[in-house]
Amino acid sequence: MTGMYVAKLDRPWLDTSFLFQGFVINNMDIISELRSTCDFVYVDEEKSKIVIPKKFNDHTVTSNIANRTELRRSKKFIYDSVDQQTFKTELPIARALQTDTRAYINDALDDVRLGRSINTNDAKQLVANLAESVVRNPNALLWLSHLKQRDEYTAIHSVNVCILALTFGRNLGLPKNELNQLGLGALLHDIGKMVVPLEILNKPGALTAKEFLALKEHPSFGYDLLKTKNKLPEFLLEVVKYHHERENGSGYPNGLIGRQLNQFTKIVTIVDVYDAITSDRVYHDAINPSVALNKMYTWAPKDFDKNLFNEFIKCLGIYPVGSLVELNTGEVGIVTSSAQNHRLKPTVLLVLDKDKSTYKSNKLINLASSVWRHDPKPREVLRVIENHSYGIDVNKVLVSSMLDNVAN
């Protein structure tokens, strides 16, 4: 409606033709452009030149920034893109949840090895708690998902795939019940790996044909294990069985093609690969998250649902959490969070100063802060650099960092 002030879009401003981040709708051409570009927009009532009609009151959203009205052209459930909790406040909560979930997975893996049944009720509650954290602020758990060790890959990978799936699901606007179901499937997706001998899982070199056949049994084993001893819906069990299938039919165990896979399976397939290649493994070093997305983009036509993968890129942003970046000042840091409306200006934990010397204390800066508005040369990301550049161990930095400084 003309006179309304559009404060935010349902997608990054840089992905649209709009020149300004915030504007008044002053003609029907702008309305037509908004309708062709967005599913919904956020309207700032205080900055609008008209009184917001009562018919929009049911969609009012309150945040610590402003009171806004959400205009929807569909009934699709969408989470508020403004984080409900700050990164620093959510971080200790997320850390406790990650620890609890990791302990559960370790116990579940042991249960499988010993032939005991798995308590999926505990898993459901843990996933529900993780989902609540992701809704409040997804960046906290994403940041912690980079805390991983080569020799503990299977357990922490399951937790990380769950975190990534929940974050992706939030971005897609899945309602909470579906978000919880997606997270449960993601958390349990690799439970069948316990049937694979450890010497195969941890082999540093290429697998033989016989060893690879043994590895390919784990999705079906996980499916059978959960199907016979737990009351889980079939579409969730399919996540476990088919997360190694590929869009062109080249995957396993059944060689299914894209249209035969449900959306949850396609989501877990994407995040499973992403976490795998951004993790240190016995047979390869982790690669930078930004580089990982570029590699996966080249694989997408044959491996992933194209539309979903494009949404995954939008979800993580140009500089995904965990990316090692160099600023125009010469400083080097690790991306800790990125707001949807400031994808080019993430929050960065500085590790090295302009002379490439280590900072004595943590320095967390928000490149999108208004503090830099009048700076003649504000800090900006110059480039993404490879993991371990300048001798930086991202995992070590994460372990040692207590994030004592609040971003500007």
pLDDT tens sequence across 127-140 = 999 999 999 999 99
pLDDT band at 17 (very low <50, low <70, confident <90, very high): low
User: By CB neighbour count within 10 A (0-12 exposed, 13-18 middle, 19+ buried), where does 250 fall?
Assistant: exposed
Q: Once rounded to an integer, what is the mean pLDDT over residues 138-162?
A: 85
What is residue 106's predicted lDDT score, i.e. its pLDDT?
92
CA dihedral 198, 201, 205, 209 (to 10 degrees): 100
Confidence of residue 71 (pLDDT cuts 50, 70, 90): very low
Q: pLDDT at position 8, please?
A: 77
Least confident of 4-18, 22-36, 105-119, 153-167: 4-18
91 and 65 Cβ atoms separated by less than 8 Å: no
In tens, the pLDDT along 301-353 reads 999 999 999 999 989 988 999 999 999 999 999 998 877 667 788 989 999 99
Does residue 264 or residue 16 have the better pLDDT? 264
What Cα–Cα distance (Å) separates residue 365 from each residue in 239, 333, 408? 39, 10, 6
Cβ atoms within 10 Å, residue 353: 15
Asked if pLDDT for residue 103 goes beyond 70, the answer is yes
For residue 204, is the peptide bond before it cis, meaning its omega torsion is within 30 degrees of 0? Answer: no
- Per-residue pLDDT band at 79 (split at 50, 70, 90): low
Backbone angles phi, psi at 216, to 5 degrees: -70, -5
User: Residue 276's pLDDT is what?
Assistant: 93
- Confidence label for 406 from pLDDT (cuts 50, 70 and 90): very low
Q: CA–CA separation, 189 vs 155, rounded Å? A: 11
pLDDT of residue 53: 58
- Res. 263: pLDDT tops 60: yes
The CATH number of 87-316, from 3.40.50.2300, 3.40.50.1100, 1.10.3210.10, 2.40.110.10, is: 1.10.3210.10
Q: Which amino acid is at 224?
A: D
Instruction: Enumerate the CATH 1.10.3210.10 domain ranges in the chain, comma separated.
Output: 87-316
Greatest mean pLDDT range, 42-46, 70-74, 159-163, 317-321: 159-163
**Is residue 408 classed exposed, middle or buried when 0-12, 13-18 and 19+ CB atoms within 10 A define those classes?**
middle
- Report the range of poorest mean pLDDT among 65-69, 120-124, 295-299: 65-69
- 350 in helix, strand or coil? strand
Using DSSP's 3-state secondary structure scheme, residue 154 falls into helix
Which of the two residues, 247 and 372, has the higher pLDDT score?
A: 247
Band the pLDDT of 186: cuts 50, 70, 90. very high
The CA distance from 101 to 151, in Å, is 18
CB neighbours of residue 360 within 10 Å: 7
Sheet (strand 23-24) strand order: 23-24, 5-9, 40-44, 67-72, 60-62
d(CA 138, CA 73): 26
Q: What is the rounded average pLDDT of the residues 188-216?
A: 90
Q: Which of 352, 286, 354, 353 is nearest to 320 (CA)?
A: 286
In this prediction, residue 65 carries a pLDDT of 24
Least confident span in 16-20, 61-65, 156-160, 182-186: 61-65
Which of 71-85, 230-244, 321-335 bottoms out in mean pLDDT, i.e. has the lowest? 71-85
pLDDT-wise least confident of 3-17, 114-128, 278-292, 306-320: 3-17
pLDDT at 73: 31
